[in-house]
Amino acid sequence: MNKVKIFVSGRLDQTKPENQKIYEKITEICESFGFEVWLPHRDTRKEMKRRYSSSEEIVKNLYNFDLERVLNCNLVIAELTNPSFGVGLELRA
């Protein structure tokens, strides 16, 4: 049986470290139930650096990369304490 895939969405630009801790706690809880979780500030950065050699390539491909992750998940959890356009775009997808 395939694992349920969850995308945890939250503001990343100009966010405080304690906000990222909230996203990490949500991820930890979901993973404890056996769900596969994509946490952008943890997973996207690592994967983009693996795929692309320059910052320009990363910036150029970032939106489509995350959009692909959102479209391939079963559930999006959006933490909206600090709203952002990025979270809105992920929810719209």
User: What does the domain layout of the chain look like in residue ranges?
Assistant: 5-92
Distance CA 6, CA 23 (A): 12
- State the number of CA atoms in the 13 A half-sphere of 35 facing the CB: 20
pLDDT-derived band at 54, boundaries 50, 70, 90: confident
pLDDT-derived band at 18, boundaries 50, 70, 90: confident
Reply yes or no on whether the pLDDT at 89 is more than 70: no
Q: Which residue has the higher pLDDT, 15 or 81?
A: 81
Reply yes or no on whether the pLDDT at 85 is more than 80: no
Q: According to the model, what pLDDT value does residue 74 have?
A: 96
Give SS3 for 64: helix
